[in-house]
Amino acid sequence: MSDPRPLIDRCPGLTRPFRASDGAIVRVRKPGGRIPTAVLRHLLGIAERWGDGRVQVTTRTNLQVRGLPLEADGSVPEEIADAVRATGLVPPTHELVRNVLCSPMGAIDLQPMVAELDEELQEIPLLEQLAGRFMWAFDNGTGDVAGEPWDVCYQALDEDHGIVALDNGRAWEISRADAPSAMLALAQEVQMARTETERPVWHSRELAYRLGDDIPDQTDRPIRVTGPLPVGTYGEDLLAGVPLGLFTGEMIRALPVLADVTLTPWRQVLIPGGAQDAEAYAAAGYVVDPADPWASISACTGLPNCVKSAIDTVSMANALVEAARQDPSIIRRPVHVSGCDRRCGEPHGEHVDLLAPADLATALAELRA
C-alpha cells in the first residue's frame, strides 16, 4: 500500500529538496517546456560538479538534478543554491507552482500565453499554496497535451479563440486574450475550495464544488484529445526521445549552442533544425526512431536510489529494451516499470503497468498476456 496522501505533497524544489538514497533531488520549473540550451548546459554543469552528472526531464516538463549534497539542516549548500538560482529557473515566489504544459509544435504557438499566465500567477499570493501537482495545459488544437492530467486547460479553436476547461466537467468558450486570467481565476477558486475539504485535495476533479460561475459563455463543446506525439522528424525539426527522461552530458552537449529547445511531457525534446542531424543525435543517445524500444519503455527511479522500490527498475527497463530488440513484438503498447504502487512517472495514456515484476521472465509474461 502507498502511504496515505499527505496534506502537503512531496514535490521537491530548491527550497524543499527531497532526500533520496543517493543524495538530494532539486527540481526546477520551466512552464511550457521551452528552454535555451545554454540553461540546460548550466544545469548540466551543476549535475556534473555536485550531482550524478545527469539532468532529468519530468512528465510535467520540469527539470531535476539528483545526488546533490545537503547541509545538516536539510538545506541545499549555498554555493549550489546560488548556481541553481543562476539558471533563472527559480522565481522569488511560487517555486513549487510550476506545472504548465504547452503543445510543443504546430501552427498556433501558445508559448506567449504560458509566459503571460506565469507572470500573472506570480502576482497572486494565494496561488503559492496550490498543490504541487496542480497543472495547467495549453493545447494548440492538436489535442496532444490535452491528453495529460490537467486541472485547467486552454484548447485553441483558432488563433484568437479557444475553450477553457476545468477538470470537473465545466468548459467555456473564450478569447485567447481573456484565457490566462480566467485560468488563474479558476485556480484561485480551486485553492479556496480545497482549504475547506476534510481530506487533502490536490486536483479540481476531486472537489464537489461548482466552480467558474463568474465566467460567461459556458459550452458543452468537448476538448479534443489525441495524445503523445511520436518521436521522429517533423519538417526540419526533430522530436527526440530521452531514455528514462535522463539527459547525459553527451546528449546536452550535442544540442545546438544557441537555440531554444522544447521539452514535452513524454520524455522528449523538440530540436529546431535537428532533422538533418538525426543520426548524430541518435549516436549521442537520443531516440529518433518510433520503433526503437526506448520510445515505448519508461521506468521510475527504483532501487538503489529509491528505498521504496522492490526492484531495480532501470535495470529491468534496460533488460526489456534488449529483449524488444530481439523480439519487437513484445512491445505492443507503451510500458512503464514501477518499483512500488506510487508509480512515479507513469504515462497517462493507455500503457502496460509493470508493477515490480520479480524478474525479466515475469515481465515478459505480462507483456505477452
Which residues form the interface with ligand SF4 (CB under 6 A)?
300-302, 306, 308-309, 338-340, 342-344
Q: Rounded CA gap, 270 and 240, in Å?
A: 6
Report the residue number, 306 or 323, with the smaller CB distance to ligand SF4: 306
**What's the min distance (Å) between Cβ of 141 and ligand SF4?**
33
Nearest to 230 by CA among 290, 151, 172, 304: 290
Nearest to 30 by CA among 59, 53, 61: 61
What torsion do the CA atoms of 254, 257, 262, 263 make, to the nearest 10 degrees? Answer: 40
Report the residue number, 253 or 342, with the smaller CB distance to ligand SF4: 342
User: Which residue is it, cell 511531457?
Assistant: 265
**What's the min distance (Å) between Cβ of 18 and ligand SF4?**
11
Count Cβ neighbours within 10 Å for each residue of 32-59 and write b for 16 or more, e otherwise: bbbbbbebbbbbbbbbeebbbebbbbbb
**What's the min distance (Å) between Cβ of 338 and ligand SF4?**
5
Report the residue number, 141 or 302, with the smaller CB distance to ligand SF4: 302
Give Cβ neighbours of residue 125 (< 8 Å, ≥ 6 apart): 93
| Chain centre to alpha carbon of residue 152 | 15
- Is the N-terminal amide bond of 304 cis, ω within 30° of 0? yes
Report the residue number, 193 or 310, with the smaller CB distance to ligand SF4: 310
Report the residue number, 39 or 300, with the smaller CB distance to ligand SF4: 300
Count Cβ neighbours within 10 Å for each residue of 132-141 and write b for 16 or more, e otherwise: bebbbbbbbb
User: Which residue is it, cell 480551486?
Assistant: 190
Q: Rounded CA gap, 23 and 47, in Å?
A: 12
Indicate the residue type of 203. H
**What's the min distance (Å) between Cβ of 310 and ligand SF4?**
7
**What's the min distance (Å) between Cβ of 357 and ligand SF4?**
13
Strand partners, 68: 24
Report the residue number, 37 or 338, with the smaller CB distance to ligand SF4: 338
Report the residue number, 161 or 343, with the smaller CB distance to ligand SF4: 343
**What's the min distance (Å) between Cβ of 76 and ligand SF4?**
21
Indicate the residue type of 228. P
Angle of the 360-368 helix axis to the 313-326 helix axis, nearest 10? 60
**What's the min distance (Å) between Cβ of 234 and ligand SF4?**
32
**What's the min distance (Å) between Cβ of 11 and ligand SF4?**
12
Q: Rounded CA gap, 104 and 369, in Å?
A: 35
Q: Which cell goes with 194?
A: 480545497
**DSSP letter at 252?**
H
Report the residue number, 31 or 243, with the smaller CB distance to ligand SF4: 243
**What's the min distance (Å) between Cβ of 312 and ligand SF4?**
10
Report the residue number, 16 or 342, with the smaller CB distance to ligand SF4: 342
